[in-house]
Chains A and B, each alone.
Chain A
Amino acid sequence: MKVLYFAWVRERVGKAEEALDPPPAVATVADLIAWLSQRGDEYAYAFEKPKVIRAAIDRMHVNQDTAIAGAREVAFFPPMTGG
């Protein structure tokens, strides 16, 4: 799946997007955040407050208990500040 990062999540991770293939045990958005956090200091920093992080699957807002099975594009970002 393609994983995208925006705003300060992107800055902390150090990249805007990457292709990842998490193991089957990673079932939900929350699982994916926990799995990413183990990938290195930059990920641990980006996801240090997991509850603050918002997520979208295939360009739709989702809660962190949403399953990621079949997702083509998962995005992580801070609360939005547009308008």
Chain B
Amino acid sequence: MTVPVTIRLQKEDFDVAREVAALSRGRTDIGAVVSFSGICRSDKADGEGDAIAALVLEHYPGMAEEEIARHAEEAVSRWPITGLTVIHRFGRIAPGDNIVLVVTASAHREAAFHAAEFLMDYLKTRAPFWKREEGSSGSSWVDAHDRDDTAAARWAKS
């Protein structure tokens, strides 16, 4: 059976409950659904200075979709998941608003947990998106974290 994979890049917000329901609606083979939502915080990534007014996400159109699709395909090949949704927003995002959503479905929980974590770790380090923080004293690009590379590296196949 072909695993249904939905990948969307969009400016607009998304509804987590609606996306979860859409993945499992009408199916009786799914025993586990895991969802991860990444949400915009108001504190700066480096912990210094005033709260941010917004994050602005730039992306590489075309490559972003293709890169996410490559990792979705890998997740499907590595774990027995039976459905997958990835939504990543771009543009201006205010604190408290959604940035990213990963939903994975499987017969049992283990595959859904692992695939969701794998996808998020790779979205952080390989999907071509860049965050800029807008604040009262101007704007600055967010630095990449070594801890995200470390998190992604544990999924590398030996």
Contact = CB atoms under 8 A, between A and B. Distances in A.
B58 A6 contact: yes
Interface residues of B, number: 28
B60 A56 contact: yes
Contacts of A6: 58, 60, 128, 130
B3 interface: no
Interface in B108-131: 120, 123-131
B153 interface: no
Nearest to B125: A80
B141 A80 contact: no
Contacts of A83: 38, 88, 99-100, 120, 123-124, 127, 129, 148
B102 to A, nearest CB: 9
Interface string A21-33: 0000000000000
A15 interface: no
Given A6-B58, A59-B63, A82 B130 contact: yes
Given A7-B141, A8-B141, A80 B126 contact: yes
A31 B147 CA distance: 30
Contacts of A56: 60, 63, 128
B144 A77 contact: no
Interface residues of A, number: 17
Contacts of B148: 83
A7 B120 CA distance: 21
Given A78-B130, A81-B129, 19 more contacts: A4-B60, A7-B130, A8-B130, A8-B141, A59-B60, A60-B66, A75-B63, A77-B128, A80-B127, A81-B130, A81-B131, A81-B142, A81-B143, A82-B100, A82-B128, A82-B130, A83-B88, A83-B100, A83-B148
8 contacts: A7-B58, A56-B60, A59-B62, A59-B63, A61-B126, A80-B144, A81-B129, A82-B100
